[in-house]
Structure 1
Amino acid sequence: MDQKNKVRSGLIFGIVTSLFFILQNLLTRDDLSTQNLIIIIASSLFGGALAGFLFGWLIGLFANSKFLKNGTNIDTASNETIVFSTGANHFQGVEGVGGKLYLTNKRLIFKSHNFNIQNHEFSINLSDVDEVHRYSTYGIINNGLSVTTSGNVIEKFAVQEPEEWMFQLKEKNSLQSVEQ
């Protein structure tokens, strides 16, 4: 996980935590004088900033750990080379299974890490991919990658560096793209 993603994750977590602290204090306090309101907002912002910093730091440690990296290594054929890879989630029902997505010169491969309920390795031959497009995961975050196969099966991923994934899949492999 790069510095930009750690900071973004920390900021989002910190802002949500600050808002939660403010709302929780406003709903549970009886004495909402101006002084108490300032204390509530200041302490909530401080607590949210601290929580966001710690969250970003811890998620960075987790994403870059040797245990995680070793658990998501893949085997390739002798005539197959890895072109591009990043951390990713593969959506299996309601679970976004965490792991790593690989693009080789022959396949798109996802391998989960061991901190999931649904551990799996998944592979699509590039010759079976009809279309790729971006979408917003959960309708908010524009990091989704949708892959449609020749069997009209749609596989969805949340990826780091979605623009680079689109470039690698569309430009380098001559796949169709539908921008949304």
Structure 2
Amino acid sequence: MAEIKNSILAGIFFGVSMGVFFTLMYDSKYGIASGITSGLLFGIAIYLFITSKAVQNQTQIENIEGQKIIYSGGANHFVNKEAVGGKLYLLTDRVQFKSHNFNIQNHSQTILLNDIKEIGFCYTLGIVPNGLFITTSSSIERYVLNNRKIWKDKIEIQKRNISSN
């Protein structure tokens, strides 16, 4: 469901942007038609991309220890100003990110729950409430994802669970 919502929002944003652009370049009839068409096509393309088997296969983690995956979902990890697309996983003792191969900076990242000092919310472009940050003693990692409140709650619960064992 999140994939559909995100695809629709991306299509609307792209369609409005292209509609304004083409209206300024040509006229309002052409701009409106171009905006609607480009928004629909872009939204469909985004949906097909994020639900493709290639992206799903590329973002699978190797869970060698066979730990339970508590929560997972699509995410972008900010690395040197690039929003690297992939998938974020919460496992029994760690948060793990794995990018898909359609990025410039492909990578995997693991943050042990015991290393987490703080979890909080951040905003994309300073206004969109879809960011989560995780602070460790050595870094601050930022992610854009769906359901950031659920992510924060689940990470904090799991962190408490491993601390009490």
* The two structures share one fold, judged by TM-score above 0.5: yes
Q: Deviations over 1:52-88 (max 9, x none)?
A: 1111111100000001100111012435211111111
Q: Where does residue 73 of structure 2 map in the other structure?
A: 86
Please give the alpha-carbon distance, in whole angstroms, between the structure 1 residues aligned to 2:153 and 2:43: 28
- Kindly indicate whether residue 110 of structure 2 is the aligned counterpart of residue 110 of structure 1: no
Which consecutive residues of structure 1, in runs of 5 or more, have no partner in the other structure?
Answer: 26-39, 176-180
Correspondence 1:158 to 2:144: yes
**More deviation in 125-134 or 159-168?**
159-168
C-alpha deviation, 1:24, in angstroms:
2.5
Tell me the residue number matched to 1:65: 52
Q: Contact 1:87–1:100 at 8 Å: present in 2 too? A: yes
Contact 2:23 2:29 in 1 (8 A): no
Aligned to 2:39: 52
Contact 1:132 1:148 in 2 (8 A): yes
Identity, % of aligned positions: 39
Write the distance in 2 (CA, Å) between the matches of 1:24 and 1:69. 39
Residue 13 (structure 1) aligns with: 14
Give, in angstroms, the shift of residue 171 of structure 1. Answer: 4.3
TM-score of the superposition, structure 1-length normalised? 0.82
Alignment of 1:89-168 (within 5 A): 89-149=76-136, 151-168=137-154
Q: TM-score, normalised by structure 2?
A: 0.89
Q: Cα RMSD over matched residues? A: 1.8
Write the letter of the residue equivalent to 1:168: K
Count of aligned pairs between the two proteins: 160
Q: Secondary structure at the match of 1:75?
A: coil
